[in-house]
Structure formats: structure tokens, C-alpha cells
Amino acid sequence: MTHEYWEAETQRALAEEAAELGIEAFRRDEVIIVAGEVESEARRQAVEERITRQFPSVRVLNEIVVARMTEPAEVPDGALRVAAVGDVHMDQDVVGRYRPALASLAERADVLLLAGDLTRHGTPDEARCVATEFGGLDVPVIAVLGNHDYHSDAEADVTAILKEAGIEVLEGAGTVVSTGRGRIGVAGVKGFGGGFAGRCATAFGEPETKAFVHTAERSADSLAKALRALDCDVRVALTHYAPVPDTLHGEPLEIYPFLGSHLLGEAIDATGTDLAVHGHAHAGCERGTTPGGVRVRNVAHPVIRQAYSVFRVERQ
């Protein structure tokens, strides 16, 4: 194997390992940089040890930080407030870490949105951890699944376990939370990749390429339909994949096509939406807007670095 192919192979193996561990990992010459958030110092060390074992010839630079699970320092005033977090990547070792910050959430928000990647590998066991952590709160909890939640081909079981715990799971559907101060409509899809205007995949050529693009199109269409159907005072779009590139700054440009699709942004702009919330881009940034001026927030836990964020949503 030539050195170049060996490099590519190592990069791929590293990416798989990182996805498995729920962290980011990059190779820069003879150094592997691992970054992201974990829930404890012990896990921070364990991740470093595992990467070092897998790639013994390369030095590992550990930039992982221990996650903060605190309540947001600032909570806006206002009639309608939406709390949100994504990419909580639950497993047994995370259970109990969010819960203290979620107690009496009703004092801070009217609803909690979970923006996908609720589990690490999409197993029913991990879904039960999500149910334990986010079930039975004092506000309605509304979720979409993320790509990780599909990994074990058990998304139907994952959805059923969450529903049983009272967590509403949206995929091409919407729901309305009625408060004394107004009705918050939430429509959700997982979404898909494909890239952004001018730099995106098109349904041309091989059937596999067409299937990829059609998946993104179908997802965006079902989001638009679900948003339009909401009878509410404020309209919120909940996705896992990003609807705009703004909130991806910090991610490598080369992977933008796997992080989101402008078709989701188009759906949001076409439907009088007031706020769009997504996850998936762990290394991205928090704030963006659609071309039509709708507020977009990346609430991936490694980005917001708190148990959840709260957004004030105004009636237009």
C-alpha cells in the first residue's frame, strides 16, 4: 500500500473510531488531535487510551473537554420560550448527568426540543437511557432522530421507546404546544445531507447519487408540508441536519455536504417559520440565519456547552 493510501485508510479508520466514541478526531501529519466533549475525566482518559492503542505510531493530542451539564446562565424573558439541545449521545455512562439541570424546566421554558443523535449507535438500550433522562419532565419534550439513531436499523424501536416515555418523535410531522400565552407549533424531520446552494449534489448520473439527492428532497418536502399544516402562533422547525451553512463554521469545508442541505432552508423560508433548530455539527457554531432571515440555531451539545439553550420566540 502506498503511503498516500495508507494515510487515507488511517483517516477513515480514525473517523469511524471517533464516530463510535462520539468525539471528533483529525490527523495532522504525525499527530492525531482528538476533540469534543465527554461527560467525565475518566472517559476523557479512556478515549485517549483507546485512540493511542489503535494508532500506536502516532502521537495523540487530547483536546477533549469534560462537558458542562449546567443550566443556561441567561434565560430570556418573553411570552413563548423554547429550550433545545441536540447530540446528547446517551448511553449508560451519561444517565443522570442532564437530569439535575432539567428539574423545574417549566420555570425557564414552555417546551424542550431534542435535535437528534440522542444515542450513540441507535440501540434500544441507549434509547432507554434517553427515556430515563428526558422522560417525565414538567414541559412537553419533542424530538427528531439523528443519523446515529439510525445506525442499528432499530429506529422504529428507538421511536417506540421514546414515545412510551412521553417524548414525541417527529418525522415529517408537526405538533402544537398550547400555553396560556400562545401556541408553539413544532414541525420536525431528521433531514439529510446534499450540500448548500451552488455547492450541492444534483440528481444526475448514477442511481446511488439520485437516491441520495431524492432522500434530501423528500425530507425537505415533508418538512415544508408539516410546517405549513401547523395551526399555531409561532412556528419552529426542528431538524438534525443543518438547513444553512452559517452554523457549520468550524467544521471542515469538505464535509459540509454531509452536514446539511439548503433544501431544508428553502422549506423553512417558504413557510413563515420563526425559528429553526438543528444539531449534528459538533464542531460548528451556534448562530445563523436562512437566506430569508429566519433565525437558525445549532444546539449540538458540544456547541452550546450547557444542558440546553433557551430561545424566546415572538409572534410575527
The residues that touch Fe ion, with contacts defined as CB under 5 A, are: 87, 117, 146-147, 280
Q: Which helix (H) or strand (E) holds 14?
A: helix 3-21
Q: How far is the CB of 284 from Fe ion (least distance, A)?
A: 11
Which of 76, 78, 72 shows the shortest CA–CA distance to 102? 72
Which residue, 147 or 152, has its beta carbon nearer to Fe ion? Answer: 147
Separation in Å, CA 213 to CA 203, 210, 216, 268:
6, 5, 5, 18
Q: How far is the CB of 116 from Fe ion (least distance, A)?
A: 6
- On the 0-12 / 13-18 / 19+ scale of CB atoms within 10 A, 208 is exposed
Which residue, 43 or 280, has its beta carbon nearer to Fe ion? Answer: 280
Which set of grid coordinates corresponds to residue 36? 469534543
Which residue, 17 or 233, has its beta carbon nearer to Fe ion? Answer: 17
Which residue, 111 or 114, has its beta carbon nearer to Fe ion? Answer: 114
Which residue, 32 or 281, has its beta carbon nearer to Fe ion? Answer: 281
Buried b (16+ CB within 10 A) or exposed e, 258-280: ebbbbbbbbbbbebebbbbbbbb
Contact 132, 93 (CB under 8 A): no
Q: How far is the CB of 76 from Fe ion (least distance, A)?
A: 26
CB neighbourhood size of 177 (10 A)? 20
Position of minimal CB gap to Fe ion: 117
Q: How far is the CB of 117 from Fe ion (least distance, A)?
A: 3
Which set of grid coordinates corresponds to residue 86? 441536540
Q: How far apart are CA 311 and CA 221, in angstroms?
A: 26
Q: How far is the CB of 59 from Fe ion (least distance, A)?
A: 26
3-class secondary structure, 78: coil
Q: How far is the CB of 35 from Fe ion (least distance, A)?
A: 13
Which residue, 149 or 269, has its beta carbon nearer to Fe ion? Answer: 149
Q: How far is the CB of 190 from Fe ion (least distance, A)?
A: 9
Which residue, 36 or 265, has its beta carbon nearer to Fe ion? Answer: 36
